[in-house]
Each structure stands twice: as structure tokens, then as C-alpha cells.
Amino acid sequence: MPIHAVITAGWVPLYFFLAGYFLLAYFRGASERNHLLFSLLCGSLGLYSLAAAGLYQASTYEEGLVWQRWQLFAPMPVLPLGAHIVCRIVGHAYLRVLATIYAAHVISAVGYLSGYFFDADSPAIKQFDVLGQRFMVYEANLSGPGQVSVVVSLLSFGFVIVLLAIGVRRGSVEARPLLVCFSVLGVAMSHDVLVLMGLSPSVYWLEHVGVLVIAYLGYRMMVALQKASRELKLLEVEHAKTKELAAVGELAAMIAHEVRNPLAAMFNALSAIKRRVPKDEQVDLLMEIQQDELERLSRIVTDLLRFARPVELKPRGTTIADLIQEAVVGATESVGEELDLPEFDMDFGNLGEREIVVDPDLMHQALVHVIENAIVASSDRGGVHIGVRNEAGTLRIDIEDHGEGMSEEARAKAFEPFFTTRPQGTGLGLPIVRRLVGAHGGSIGLESAADGGVNAIVLLPGVVT
């Protein structure tokens, strides 16, 4: 068998592998139409390469004519399927044009398979040298309808190129690599038309150039499919957690409402006891302990209600400096005189007076809690740094403490309800913060600071213009 036939036949397993892979992906739940179209396209190119290998090893004109029919029949679905994929990617239907391309290539497929598009009485026997080996290709010249079919294919290919160019101009990320790939295929296709018509002495390029392009596109689609699969699994996990948290929130709200009234009665009773019981050091100490525990229980009830309450945004304009400075004041007042307050180093850059549209009350609550954590961590250790910057329209707020820091495991669990590293903590503060920031389309994360503390990073996309 000629070496050129062996090389061409070697591409067949790759085409059929890609066809099977994306067909399986389509039926196993991805349900992405482009996967089905790409699978059919690869299958067609696999048959084309198989028929081309048969043509190259044919030893008589009659045998070559049979293989030539299959060689030109097999790739007929490729252009309509490619045009269909491109239309879906670019976002334009062009249904009439697509229907015309499909219909024209169905007619061409029938014409090639029946032999009507060939002139069997006009052989075109070609001679090629590949890797020092000479071999003959036994073909027939195309008839008039066959030549028209070639022109229709070239026009269809031109339509795809124009469509991709429009997509690139409109900023489509996927259209740019496709335009390069189809341009390369267009060069190979034009060259092969010249070879078919006897105007070029070179071997056919399409089966070799095509496999490189299809392998590249297949790889990109595999990566995208795996990424989508991972994201889907993460969404499923997140959805399960959300349902779980919703159930916990409902239960927490019921418990908090039931506890709030008895708690108020206990506060009133303790106040009455303090007024009526004679002064005694031991009694005063016990009542002080009781007062502290009641206040702790009250904080838990308040946090439970905040955690369970639906977040309703009431956005309005406020400056970045006002938002953060008021949060600092609120956090220091909340901590009171229990701790030595650290110094605050605030760096707003040129964004201090920039107005943003958020719900100031909810963002105040969120920032107050994060700054409180930084104050507690930094007490007697150092200051708290608050930095602000604009990252392509996303407002980034860094709140960095100089505390002992958190382990990687603790940072990973920090936003889980009821997880806390503080003896007096409820474990609901950061989950509440994440809900409030998330309601603005933002996110919050924790990183280790350079000096061993914790840097809380709040990201609010789209609020800085």
C-alpha cells in the first residue's frame, strides 16, 4: 500500500474517536446541539479519509472511480454542519441560507454517489511523489453539474468565512480561533479543487490539514465540556447547600421567634431583681454573669433572625469613603471599651469621593462585622489596614488585620453557619456577610496576610464606572 494511503488511513481512528466522544457527551446529558453537529462532522471526515486512502491504493481506473465517488460523497455533510455550528456560535440563525446549503449539498451527495457528477469517459490519472515513493491516483474529471457543485461548496465556505469575520468584529471570543481554522481549511480546499481539476501537480491537502484543525477544535471543545461539567457539579453542590441552609434558616427563625419573648421577660425580671435585692458582692457577681449570658443569648437570637431574613436591596448612591468610614465608626462603637482599639490605616486612592450605588444599610452591616473581626484580631498586636481599588469596574475592598491569622482549614470553613474560632462568637457573622455581599452580586474571601494576619477581600462588580 502506498505510504500516502497509509498516512491518510491513520487519521480515520482519530476522526471516529472524536465523533464517538461528542456523540456520547450529547446523549449523556450535555444536550448541547453543537456536540451532536461536531460529532456528525467528524464522522463524515472519517469516512472521507477512509475513502481517500482507498483511492490512493487503487490500482485500476475502475477501482479508483468507485473510491472517488465515496471520497467526494463523504465530506458533503461537512460544510452544512460547519455552517450550522458557526451560525449557533455567532448567534445568527440565517435559516433560509442554511436550508439552501443543506439542500445543495444533499443534491451534490446524491450526484457524486450516483456517478452523475463524473465524466467516466474522461479519466484524469494523476501521478504524485510522496517521501520518495511514486504512486498513481485514478480519477475521472467532473461533469458540468459536478463543477457547479464545487462552485456551490466554495460559495458556502465563503459564507462561513464572512459570518465568522462578522462575529470577530462584534467581539465574539469563540469566533476568532474558528476564523483562523476555517481560513486554513479554505486554503487547503481551494488547493484541492485545483488538484481535482488537474491544475496543480501536488497531492491533496485537505485530509492532512483538516485533521490538525479538527483535532485542535475537538481539544477546545473537550476542555470546554470538562469545565462545564465541573461547574455543573459545583452548582449542584451549591444548590444542595443552599437548600440545606434555607431549611436551617427557617428552623432558626422559628426558634429565634420563640426564644425572643421569654428572653425579654428574663431581661425584665433580672432588672427587677437588681432593683429589689440588697447589695451583696456574691449576688452582684452572679447577676453580672447572668446579664452577660443573656446578652450573649440575645446576640445569637439577633444573628439567627438576620441569617434567616430574606435580603431585600434598597440601592441608592453613596461615596466609598462615607461607606467605609461609617462602618469603621460602627465597628469601634460595637466593640466599645472591651478592647484596646487598634489604629486604622485607610487608603482610598482616588476613589474616596467616587459615588457607588449599593444598599448602604446592608453593606454597612456587612463591613461592620468584618471590621469588628479585624479589631478583635489586631487588639494589642497592630493596626488594621483598609484599602480600596478599582479592578476593571469591580470595587475591591481589603480589610487586613495583624492578628494570629487562620489556618487554611479554618478559612475554608469560615463561611459555614455556626463555625467560629472566637469563644463568644455565634458562627453566623461571616455567613450573614456573604449573603449581604452576594445580594449585591459580589463575593467575599479570606487570604493570609503577608505578616501572618488575615486579609478579608470584598469584591463588588460593576459598581465603579
- Can you tell me the distance from the alpha carbon of 176 to that of 182, in angstroms, rounded to the nearest whole number? 10
Run of H or E residues at 308: helix 281-308
Is residue 78 predicted with pLDDT exceeding 80? Answer: yes
Tell me, what's the pLDDT at 142? 87
| 283 in any annotated domain | no
| Residue 259, in any domain of the structure | no
- The pLDDT value recorded for residue 36 is 87
On the question of pLDDT at 176 being above 60, the answer is yes
Q: Which domain holds residue 426?
A: 312-465
Please check whether residues 318 and 227 belong to one and the same domain: no
Place of cell 436551617: 248
Q: What is the CATH number of the domain that holds 445?
A: 3.30.565.10
pLDDT of residue 337: 67
* The domain boundary residue, chosen from 233, 263, 289: 233
pLDDT in tens, 360-401: 999 999 999 999 989 888 877 788 999 999 887 889 999 999
Rounded percentage of the chain residues whose pLDDT exceeds 70: 94
Beta carbons within 8 Å of 107's beta carbon, 6+ residues apart: 149
Give the pLDDT score at 30: 56
- Please tell me the least confidently modeled range out of 146-150, 306-310, 432-436: 306-310
| C-beta separation of 430 from 369 below 8 A | yes
Residue 427 located in a structural domain: yes
Structure confidence at residue 220 as a pLDDT band (50, 70, 90): confident
Q: Do 207 and 321 sit in the same domain of this protein? A: no
Question: Above 90 in pLDDT, residue 88?
Answer: no
- DSSP code, position 420: -
Per-residue pLDDT, averaged over 251-271, amounts to: 76
Is 227 found in the same domain as 319? no
Number of domains in the chain: 2
Tell whether 321 is covered by a domain.
yes
Task: State pLDDT tens for residues 310-361.
Answer: 778 888 889 999 999 999 999 888 876 667 788 899 999 888 888 899 999 9
456 pLDDT more than 90 = yes
Instruction: Give yes or no for residue 31 having a pLDDT over 70.
Output: no
Residue range 139-147: mean pLDDT, rounded: 88
**Minimum mean pLDDT among 24-33, 80-89, 104-113, 135-144: which range?**
24-33
Q: Give yes or no: residues 352 and 223 share one domain.
A: no
- Residues 185, 320, single domain; the answer is no
> Dihedral of the CA atoms 267, 269, 274, 277 (nearest 10)?
-160
Rounded distance between C-alpha atoms, residue 449 and residue 426, angstroms: 24
Torsion of CA 158, 160, 165, 168, to 10 degrees: -170
Q: Is residue 68 scored above 60 in pLDDT?
A: yes
- Whether 207 has a pLDDT exceeding 80, the answer reads no
Q: Which has the higher per-residue pLDDT, 423 or 103?
A: 103
End residue of a domain, out of 178, 213, 233: 233
- Is 151 contained in some domain? yes
Tell me what pLDDT residue 29 has. Answer: 65
pLDDT at 239: 75
**The predicted structure's pLDDT at residue 364:** 93
pTM higher than the cut 0.85: no
- Would you say the C-alpha torsion 82, 85, 89, 91 has a positive or negative sign? positive
- Residue 343: predicted pLDDT: 87
pLDDT of residue 242: 67
Mean pLDDT, rounded, of the chain? 84
